[in-house]
A and B are shown apart, each in its own frame.
Chain A
Amino acid sequence: GESVGLHLPTLSVQEGDNSIINCAYSNSASDYFIWYKQESGKGPQFIIDIRSNMDKRQGQRVTVLLNKTVKHLSLQIAATQPGDSAVYFCAENGPPDKLIFGTGTRLQVFP
């Protein structure tokens, strides 16, 4: 079946470095993608989204890149801070019009 997955279950970065979290999706008909951040014991928090008619979208310190050719999504976090430590989920919205979530990547930021 269709699925959303992540390449790296855990990513460790030094404070101040840039982080890149990757996500592969398999449903070529998906037209909307979203990234969530989830801190321990809390609900997911919206970070950024992108529609399939775009390749790149920027927010505050975050950038999402979409490569439809290889069905790949990435989240880039600039100047990673300790407060960025969390689990990051990607999700795709495709037929039958519901969000499918990946398993998540844990981002650990060390000083």
Chain B
Amino acid sequence: DGGITQFPKYLFRKEGQNVTLSCEQNLNHDAMYWYRQDPGQGLRLIYYSQIVNDFQKGDIAEGYSVSREKKESFPLTVTSAQKNPTAFYLCASSIGHRKATNEKLFFGSGTQLSVL
């Protein structure tokens, strides 16, 4: 099956701990994204990557870090600097970085992160 896989489905973080959320896609998409979803709010962009070895901050990047060493992988680390990490995290990808092909996002099934 082609698609985006996020794991784990549920993750718990202790105070002061860094945790990493995984995202893998086999769609051969160039662009990948991380969004945060809180109840009653729209999706907010954390980081995005248009191409391998390059990424940019989104609207709420503070307390998060990413890497894009491989085209198919875009892991997100929630650092201890993120004081309110409890949320549903969604990874997405799109075909390319050109405007015409960059609009339709394909989403993973999400990771629910909670603080112990």
A23, chain B: closest CB distance, angstroms: 11
Q: Which of A43, A49, A98, A102 contacts B104 (CB 8 A)?
A: A49
SS class, residues of chain B in contact with chain A: loop
A4, chain B: closest CB distance, angstroms: 7
Total A-B pairs, Cβ < 8 A: 44
A49 contacts B103, CB within 8 Å?
A: yes
Within 8 A of B (CB), among A86-110: 89, 93, 97-104
B109 contacts A103, CB within 8 Å?
A: no
Complex contacts, A34 vs chain B, CB 8 Å? 103-104
Interface residues on chain A, size class: 20 to 34
Which of A42, A44, A46, A100: most chain B Cβ within 10 A? Answer: A44
Could you tell me which B residues sit within 8 Å of A by CB distance? 4, 6, 40-43, 45, 90, 92, 99, 102-110, 112
Using A99-B105, A104-B42 as known contacts, list a sample of 6 further A-B pairs with CB atoms less than 8 Å apart, ordered by residue number in A.
A34-B104, A43-B92, A43-B109, A44-B43, A49-B103, A101-B42
